[in-house]
Structure 1
Amino acid sequence: MPDINDLRQQRANLAAQARAILDTAQNASRSITADEEQTFDRLMADADRIDATIAREERARELERQIAGTTPPARGDGSGDDNPDEALRGRAFRNFVVGGRNALSPDEARALNMGNDPEGGYLVAPQQWVNQLIQAVDDLVVLRQLATVETLNEGESLGVPTLETDLNDAEWTSEIGTGSQDDALRFGKREFRPNPLAKRVRVSRKLLRAAARDPEAIVRERMAHKFGVTCEKAYMTGDGNKKPLGLFTASTDGISTARDVSFGTGGAIPLTPVSGDQLIDAKYTLKSAYWAEARWLFHRTLIATIRKLKGSTNDTYLWQPGISSDKPDTILDLPFVVSEFVPNTVSGNNYVGMLGDFRKYWIVDALNMEVQRLVELYAETNQVGFIGRLETDGMPVLEEAFVRLKVPA
């Protein structure tokens, strides 16, 4: 098992070496040479690989902790199970995953059965299992970790009131004066309507019988990955039509083109102070009240470019490496996050990143996860199928909390 602290130290050493290359060029009042740039890119690629290793190891350990916490204690072992009904549902669901309906006792079947489908039907997963599936998705999807996530327990949609037009400023007046009447206050509403999301997973019958790991964990991991990737794409670039409205989709319902700023020139992002100054302009387009929670959001290929940019004001590099595990790398003193699904095609009129307080992106889940076991469909290949279903929606709720970067034509 890798030592995460050792990996972080290795990563810090690589970042320090890369930073030294930039400092050497800056102190000599010159740009980095081709050889220096090649070395810099190699060091940062190594640092990024270590970053990915740390993230995978942390996710694996968290999932192992979750799995260890899902197995209910045996009845009557003195462990103090306060909810025997939930324990029965958990045991029944595990038996169902491994052996299907025929493996259930009459009590277990009654605990899970939500209909009268002789072919296997739909079963509602135990509540603990559903919560862990959603948590695994959180670990895999960058934006869910930063966004505001709400759960819709009743009703088909969630309405959120919005302040469309605020009052004018207060007025100086006399002791008995009340000021002039103000009719500017206007309210609106954002409506979230969770949309269905589904994925099918096939698992070998032999694996279900003989696996050392809990079969639930195997199914959960694969579903979590598939749900996570689909959600991430929609949160970034979804068009809002029966799916979330993405951050990089210009819309009056989310973030309009009024929040776009230029990054680059002539369909490219040259490594010149002009590009660095545009990032500075983007930072100061965002109100300072959002800076405490603001993050840059880029694809990793754009981070590779930004690491070499200077601003013309004081001719310093905009990227600064973190000096410890609790102090991340920054761009213009603000941390950044990386997603594989941020647009990264550098050409005219394309979006390539943003700065924002992502708490103002709301995600609403309808927690009615259903799992269907396909008993006979994959019999010829000695496999068992599982279909997972989830409903979710998302959209930006306050466009002034975001600044989107667009490459000019």
Structure 2
Amino acid sequence: MPTPTVPATARPSAPTSALEMAEAFEDFMTAFEAFKETNDRRLADLERQRGSDPLTEEKLDRLNRSLDDQKRLIDGYLIKSQRPRLGFERGRTSVAGLEHKAAFDAYVRSGRDDGLHRLEEKALSVGSDPDGGYLVPDETETEIMRRLAEVSPIRAIADVRQVSSSVYKKPFSISGPAVGWVGETTDRTPTAAPTLDELSFPTMELYAMPAATATLLDDTAVNIDEWLAAEVETAFAEQEGSAFVAGDGNAKPRGFLDYDTIAESSWAWKKLGYVATGIDGAFPADTPSDILIDLVYTLKAGYRQNARWVMNRSTQGELRKLKDADDNYIWQPPATADAQAMLMNFPVVEAEDMPDIDSDTMAIAFGDFRRGYLIVDRLGVRVLRDPYSAKPYVLFYTTKRVGGGVQDFDAIKLLKFGES
């Protein structure tokens, strides 16, 4: 039996005022101005060949951490402010939906499953699972998936499909048919057939096990659907984030960094192309921003329109220090609290499962992830109530099936911190 998460109590989310968010954003911008001033001093010392002052470096690192902390605070405020209370709108919920919600509520609170058992027998749902448990109401499943899209960085930018089977197979055209211009009476030669490949995306089981006290379950003022969605949100998001970046495809989705890589000049289908910095574990000393420009233009124009940078917090901290040939910082803070930071006019997505800058690591990805990476969700989130394994707490073994992998190998490019 998997290890349960920490028991929970009711955690109603307090509404976040616009004033709090505005103050947090103002603090973020103040910290960024201080960061630029300190970094300018460091660069001036290096230009005078005096070396970098350790106190300046320490202050720069402290300001860098402060920027990260302030941005996380703003993101948290934003998610809470946009999160509606889970519920059923009067006049828009079917009788079957209300019946399912009432039966699910009775099962979670008291363990009575006769209502859910009868509903699933009647529905013969494609989401039924021989391992046991019951499907959550559709509104609860929708809320869980919506929350995941808010806090899971790759899910927020990838292509997401729902399927009813355990494997999603997608044919893909590697090369289209031959085409050309002809005159009205000119002979037409037969065109070549397109080259097709089939990509397969199996779905794997992901679980979370929130725990509740009897007091929480007996409290009728607590919205059980909302509580469950909030409890599994973080656990699912953390596991998904790791798998979508670096998962090996063994009982988990396959991350884009798990695929074979090849120098962009020799790019081939089913491999991700990369550009090397030319320096082992670092940016080039002279005009380091040029290598990022090279990476941008390895991507075809059709992909660049919706491209994004993906990197972790540490890498983003290093990029904040870089300037272009015109002495402008290439990393720009978000223009508003609900916007993203920009790097060379492309949004930056922070994914903590990306590797740090080190010898031969692929620490930065750039591309159109909506076209490049596919996430497959099998219909149905299931809950199995367990009042016995961790008395006096009640565990809720919550599962969903999800898969993922690269669907267009030309849509994502990598920056390798190595010589070649």
**Same fold, TM exceeding 0.5?**
yes
Q: 2:85 aligns with which of 41, 53, 66?
A: 66
SS of structure 1 residue aligned to 2:258: coil
CA distance in 1, matches of 2:151, 2:310: 16
CA distance in 2, matches of 1:142, 1:353: 14
| Deviation per residue, 1:305-358 (Å, 9 max, x gap) | 1111234x54543223334346532222212110111122x3323221210111
After superposition, residues 224-243 of structure 1 pair within 5 angstroms as 224-243=233-252
Tell me the TM-score normalized by structure 1.
0.83
* Residues 108 and 331 of structure 1: CA distance in aligned 2, closer, same or farther (over 3 Å): closer
1:390 is the counterpart of 2:400: yes
Q: 1:263 aligns with which of 263, 277, 293?
A: 277
| Deviation per residue, 1:22-57 (Å, 9 max, x gap) | 567779994895344443433332222121112122
After superposition, residues 112-131 of structure 1 pair within 5 angstroms as 122-131=133-142
Contact kept in structure 1, 2:85 and 2:226, CA below 8 Å: no
Give 5+ residue unaligned stretches, structure 2: 1-15, 125-130, 262-267
* Residues 225 and 327 of structure 1: CA distance in aligned 2, closer, same or farther (over 3 Å): closer
Amino acid at match of 2:133: Y
* Percent identity of paired positions between Structure 1 and Structure 2: 22
Match of 1:330 in 2: 342
RMSD: 3.1
Match of 1:407 in 2: 417
CA distance in 2, matches of 1:207, 1:187: 54
Task: Compute the displacement of 1:185 (Å).
Answer: 2.0
Task: Compute the displacement of 1:165 (Å).
Answer: 1.6
CA distance in 1, matches of 2:162, 2:360: 36
CA distance in 1, matches of 2:212, 2:303: 46
| Deviation per residue, 1:89-144 (Å, 9 max, x gap) | 2122112211111xx6x6676346689xxxx9522221111211222222220111
CA distance in 1, matches of 2:289, 2:44: 18
CA distance in 1, matches of 2:92, 2:409: 48
Amino acid at match of 1:261: V
CA distance in 2, matches of 1:370, 1:310: 50
Contact kept in structure 1, 2:101 and 2:137, CA below 8 Å: yes
SS of structure 2 residue aligned to 1:248: helix
Moved more, 25-34 or 159-168: 25-34
SS of structure 2 residue aligned to 1:177: coil
CA distance in 2, matches of 1:28, 1:107: 73
Task: Compute the displacement of 1:209 (Å).
Answer: 2.4
CA distance in 2, matches of 1:391, 1:272: 46
Q: 2:97 aligns with which of 65, 82, 86?
A: 86
* Residues 167 and 36 of structure 1: CA distance in aligned 2, closer, same or farther (over 3 Å): farther
| Deviation per residue, 1:251-309 (Å, 9 max, x gap) | 38x9855501113612x215723533222211111123222211110010011111112
Tell me the TM-score normalized by structure 2.
0.81
Match of 2:145 in 1: 134
1:352 is the counterpart of 2:363: yes
Match of 1:284 in 2: 297
After superposition, residues 181-200 of structure 1 pair within 5 angstroms as 181-183=190-192, 185-200=194-209
Task: Compute the displacement of 1:81 (Å).
Answer: 6.1
Give 5+ residue unaligned stretches, structure 1: 74-78
Count of aligned pairs between the two proteins = 385
Q: 2:62 aligns with which of 13, 25, 42?
A: 42
Match of 1:162 in 2: 172
Task: Compute the displacement of 1:199 (Å).
Answer: 2.6
Task: Compute the displacement of 1:403 (Å).
Answer: 0.9
